[in-house]
């Protein structure tokens, strides 16, 4: 068991996330399916190289997401702005997609009441309801707009590139509606979060007078949750973003080490790399906490877009990338576990466990004379969910399925901040071990450009013609 941080202040000692990798080891799951300590030791020099590579990028300003835990001025502005906003709006709507949405969803679901939007305003601390519109399904968008009183709604348009079609379309729609409903006051209802130099949103925000938050240049979408991209929506709903960043800083204390026995992100990246090389091509993240479902979805994007790459190795083209799957304990024990236990042995499962839930729900004693019910009486749902997790890990281990566990003492901003930062570093490190660039997304960009071409964006005419030829159609496609 490795504690994420070792340089913590005393205040947070009891809130350290721990990482248990015992069941990744050959001695737990067998030599055909686990990694041996000898293999890990043999990999230590390469792992150390990967850690130094990342620290070098950091020192040269190429991975500013690593320094987000320390962005003091920005945080103060975010919190002040969010507190002020909370007094004048009753709905806060994020318009964004991919990395510009999943982090906000992850924080909101992890750290707010599970039925936050349904609570009475006073129960939400008089904070606005929060929505994230991360799709352009017309029924979804129109349905959301039906539910909003535009006079009391603020839209946060989030796009790092400042030009993603989905987000810009949503902006055009809400801008139009706001102007029709509110006239010149419309601009007070739009907040832009974007890159200072790329795309059109920054200039539009300045021109129209939207409040504006900038995403640092080398913070890519899926690594942006600790920037204003995730912090603003979180702060609006009252999440303690300073504590979140303190948690991330805590993880940074150990995740910068180049010794894999000290750095849990490096250890897990290395073990996952070794297991990938022996055919374990699927990475499952399975939190046993309903509130961490959003975090599992956030991780799925982080892992998929960072690691799924075609690259050149020794003049050969190779396609690389472990496929991430997000699952939810206990729910997916009843939909996925059969496959994990009996299906192909191609998965590594990471559990996220919560030691102390916010609430304790007792199961009342019953004396029905029914074996299926009476034994549960006197236990709690807390015991049940954790017993199911332990039982699942044990069963998987016995069936030679490697698994590991992040254990959060509690679900709070500090522990979530640690986990987010650790998973980001782990993703970057395994990317390096796999020989891919974890920070680009050429295939996503290609998809975006094809959409621009299909819809007639200026500058994409040649591409539109090529697509039309391929589709066997005239120049006009849509």
Piece of 63-71, 97-105, 354-362, 374-382 that binds ligand PA5 (CB under 6 A): 97-105
Stretch that binds ligand PA5, among 91-99, 275-283, 333-341, 402-410 (CB under 6 A): 91-99
Out of 71, 112, 153, 167, which residue is the one contacting ligand PA5 (CB under 6 A)? 167
Contact 96, 165 (CB under 8 A): no
Q: Please identify, using beta-carbon distances, which residue of 40 and 97 lies nearer to ligand PA5.
A: 97
283 counts as binding ligand PA5 under rule CB under 6 A = no
Asked if 207 and 77 count as a contact pair (C-beta separation under 8 A), the reply is no
Shortest separation between residue 424's beta carbon and ligand PA5, angstroms: 12
CA–centroid distance for 285 within its chain: 11
Of 42-50, 86-94, 157-165, 337-345, which segment contacts ligand PA5 by CB under 6 A?
157-165
Candidates 3, 181, 363, 444: give the one binding ligand PA5 (CB under 6 A). 444
**Binders in 175-234 for ligand PA5, by CB under 6 A:** 220-222
Cα 179 from Cα 263, distance rounded (Å): 52
The reply to whether 159 sits near ligand PA5 by the rule CB under 6 A is: yes
Q: Between residues 222 and 389, which has the closer beta carbon with respect to ligand PA5?
A: 222
Instruction: For residue 144, count CB atoms less than 10 angstroms from its CB and return exposed for 0-12, middle for 13-18, buried for 19 or more.
Output: middle
d(CA 364, CA 170): 49
Using CB under 6 A, pick the residue from 34, 98, 230, 233 that binds ligand PA5.
98
**Catalytic choice (90, 214, 410, 448):** 448
Among 23, 109, 156, 164, indicate the residue that binds ligand PA5 (CB under 6 A). 164
Whether cis (ω within 30° of 0) applies to the bond prior to 15 is no
Query: Known catalytic residue: 305?
Result: yes
Instruction: Return the number of other C-beta atoms located less than 10 Å from residue 398's C-beta.
Output: 11
Q: Is residue 99 within the footprint of ligand PA5 (CB under 6 A)?
A: yes
Per CB under 6 A, 156 contacts ligand PA5: no
Q: Could you say which of 161, 263, 333, 426 contacts ligand PA5 (CB under 6 A)?
A: 161
Q: How far apart are CA 81 and CA 355, in angstroms?
A: 34
Asked whether position 97 contacts ligand PA5 by CB under 6 A, the answer is yes
- Segment 284 to 343, residues that bind ligand PA5, using CB under 6 A: 305
Nearer to ligand PA5, 215 or 337 (CB): 215
| Shortest distance (Å) from residue 6 CB to ligand PA5 | 31
Marked catalytic residue, from 166, 243, 305, 424: 305
Give the count of residues interacting with ligand PA5 (CB under 6 A): 15
Among the candidate windows 23-31, 63-71, 95-103, 246-254, which touches ligand PA5 by CB under 6 A?
95-103
Catalytic residue among 14, 319, 334, 476: 334
Name which of 397 and 427 has its Cβ closer to ligand PA5: 427
Using the rule CB under 6 A, which residue among 127, 129, 160, 412 binds ligand PA5? 160
Task: Extract the tokens encoding 220.
Answer: 């890519």
Q: Which two tokens stand for residue 80?
A: 């002040």
Contacts of 471 (CB under 8 A, 6+ apart): 477
Rounded CA gap, 100 and 105, in Å? 10
Catalog residues that contact ligand PA5 under the rule CB under 6 A.
97-100, 159-161, 164, 167, 220-222, 305, 441, 444
Catalytic (active-site) positions:
305, 334, 448
């Amino acid at each position: 068991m490795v504690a994420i941080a070792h340089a913590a202040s005393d205040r947070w000692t009891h809130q350290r996330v721990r990482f248990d990798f015992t069941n990744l080891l050959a001695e737990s799951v067998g030599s055909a399916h686990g990694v041996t300590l000898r293999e890990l030791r043999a990999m230590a020099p390469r792992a150390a190289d990967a850690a130094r590579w990342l620290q070098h990028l950091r020192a040269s300003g190429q991975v500013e997401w690593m320094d987000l835990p320390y962005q003091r001025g920005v945080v103060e502005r975010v919190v002040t702005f969010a507190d002020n906003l909370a007094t004048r709006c009753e709905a806060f709507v994020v318009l964004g997609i991919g990395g510009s949405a999943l982090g906000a969803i992850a924080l909101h679901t992890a750290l707010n009441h599970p039925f936050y939007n349904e609570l009475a305003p006073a129960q939400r601390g008089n904070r606005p309801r929060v929505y994230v519109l991360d799709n352009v399904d017309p029924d979804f968008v129109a349905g959301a707009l039906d539910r909003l009183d535009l006079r009391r709604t603020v839209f946060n348009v989030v796009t790092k590139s400042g030009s993603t079609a989905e987000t810009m379309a949503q902006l055009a729609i809400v801008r139009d509606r706001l102007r029709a409903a509110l006239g010149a006051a419309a601009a007070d209802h739009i907040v832009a979060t974007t890159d200072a130099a790329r795309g059109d949103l920054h200039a539009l925000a300045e021109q129209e007078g939207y409040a504006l938050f900038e995403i640092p240049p080398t913070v890519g979408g899926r690594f942006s949750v600790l920037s204003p991209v995730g912090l603003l929506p979180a702060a609006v709903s009252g999440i303690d973003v300073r504590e979140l960043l303190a948690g991330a800083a805590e993880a940074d204390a150990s995740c910068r080490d180049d010794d894999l026995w000290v750095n849990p992100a490096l250890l897990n990246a290395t073990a996952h790399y070794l297991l990938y090389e022996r055919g374990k091509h699927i990475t499952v993240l399975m939190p046993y906490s309903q509130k961490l479902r959003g975090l599992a979805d956030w991780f799925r994007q982080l892992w998929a877009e960072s690691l799924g790459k075609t690259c050149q190795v020794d003049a050969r083209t190779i396609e690389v990338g472990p496929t991430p799957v997000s699952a939810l304990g206990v729910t997916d024990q009843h939909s996925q576990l059969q496959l994990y236990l009996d299906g192909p042995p191609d998965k590594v499962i990471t559990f996220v466990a919560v030691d102390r839930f916010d609430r304790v729900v007792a199961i009342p004693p019953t004396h029905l004379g029914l074996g299926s019910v009476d034994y549960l009486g006197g236990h709690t749902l807390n015991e049940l969910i954790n017993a199911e997790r332990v039982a699942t890990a044990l069963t998987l281990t016995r069936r030679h399925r490697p698994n590991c566990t992040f254990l959060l003492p509690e679900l709070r901003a500090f522990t979530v901040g640690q986990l987010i930062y650790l998973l980001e570093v782990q993703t970057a490190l395994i990317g390096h071990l796999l020989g891919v660039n974890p920070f680009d997304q050429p295939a996503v960009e290609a998809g975006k450009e094809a959409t621009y071409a299909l819809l007639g964006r200026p500058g994409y005419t040649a591409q539109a013609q090529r697509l039309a030829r391929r589709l066997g159609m005239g120049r006009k496609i849509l």
